[in-house]
């Protein structure tokens, strides 16, 4: 059985500004929160996104292996810009991006492409055993939940993933179970003891 704990990286300036992520460092709050992360996690294989903010979040954990599939969605020309600014400048493009999973008006990766990338990676993970901790991005975590539930792409926008929150999935015989989503406080108990939780509040965050 594969136990997969997906952790969104800690806070950055882009997170605080509700901006599309770029390759940036953690802010002071993020560094402080990441210093406590090890106490909230079990021991396990550590996998990280190639992004600097993911590596800094994982600094207090065991030696990590970079997984390209854990990279955040490529936001193209929107990377680093606040969502509000882009929406004011190009409202039709933002509407298309949030309603059409095949749309990529920013010139980067569509939601369909992100979901396909994450699904392929999860198929590989489902064939593994033991515990893995993946330090990644909000968009990847949400895509993983959508994939695990076989939910439609529109469900992506209805999942909230906070910085340094833990989302836990288990794979049995190639099928995923969602054990908890957006857990911001608790350290995990023994395997199989976790309470199933519903996703948090509705959100349209970019998930950087």
pTM of the complete model: 0.90
Distance CA 132, CA 43 (A): 8
Q: How far is CA 175 from the centre of its chain?
A: 20
pLDDT over threshold 60, residue 198:
no
pLDDT over threshold 70, residue 195:
no
Angle (nearest 5°) at CA 170 between 123 and 72: 55
pLDDT average, residue stretch 57-84: 97
Over pLDDT 90: what percentage of the chain? 87
Residue in this structure with the two tokens 């004011």, named with its chain if needed: 88
pLDDT average, residue stretch 107-125: 98
Mean pLDDT of the chain: 91
The region of weakest confidence among 99-103, 154-158, 202-206 is 202-206
**CA dist 113 → 24, 74, 90, 104 (Å):** 23, 10, 22, 10
What pLDDT, on the 0 to 100 scale, is given for residue 185? Answer: 77
What pLDDT, on the 0 to 100 scale, is given for residue 20? Answer: 96
pLDDT over threshold 70, residue 19:
yes
The region of weakest confidence among 4-8, 126-130, 176-180, 187-191 is 187-191
Q: Is the dihedral of CA 77, 83, 84, 88 positive or negative?
A: positive
CB distance 57 to 133 below 8 Å: no
Pick the more confident residue, 206 or 156: 156
What pLDDT, on the 0 to 100 scale, is given for residue 98? Answer: 96
pLDDT average, residue stretch 41-46: 96
Domains, the chain, ordered by start:
2-183 (3.40.50.1240)
Where residue 131 falls among pLDDT bands split at 50, 70, 90? very high
* CB-CB neighbours of 132 under 10 Å: 19
Where residue 173 falls among pLDDT bands split at 50, 70, 90? very high
pLDDT over threshold 70, residue 127:
yes
């Amino acid at each position: 059985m594969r136990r997969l704990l997906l952790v969104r990286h800690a806070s950055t300036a882009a997170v605080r500004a509700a901006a599309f992520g770029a390759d940036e460092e953690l802010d002071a709050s993020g560094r402080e929160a990441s210093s406590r992360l090890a106490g909230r996690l079990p021991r396990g294989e550590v996998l990280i996104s190639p992004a600097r903010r993911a590596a800094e979040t994982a600094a207090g954990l065991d030696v990590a292996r970079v997984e390209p599939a854990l990279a955040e969605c490529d936001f193209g020309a929107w990377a680093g810009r606040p969502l509000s600014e882009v929406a004011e400048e190009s409202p039709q493009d933002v509407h298309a991006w949030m309603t059409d999973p095949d749309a990529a008006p920013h010139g980067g990766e569509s939601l369909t492409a992100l979901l396909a990338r994450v699904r392929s990676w999860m198929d590989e993970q489902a064939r593994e055993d033991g515990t893995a901790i993946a330090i990644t991005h909000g968009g990847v975590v949400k895509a993983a939940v959508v994939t695990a539930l076989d939910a439609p792409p529109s469900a992506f926008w209805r999942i909230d993933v906070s910085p340094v929150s833990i989302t836990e999935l288990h794979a049995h015989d190639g099928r995923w179970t969602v054990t908890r989503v957006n857990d911001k406080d608790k350290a995990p108990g023994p395997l199989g003891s976790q309470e199933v939780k519903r996703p948090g509040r509705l959100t349209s965050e970019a998930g950087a």
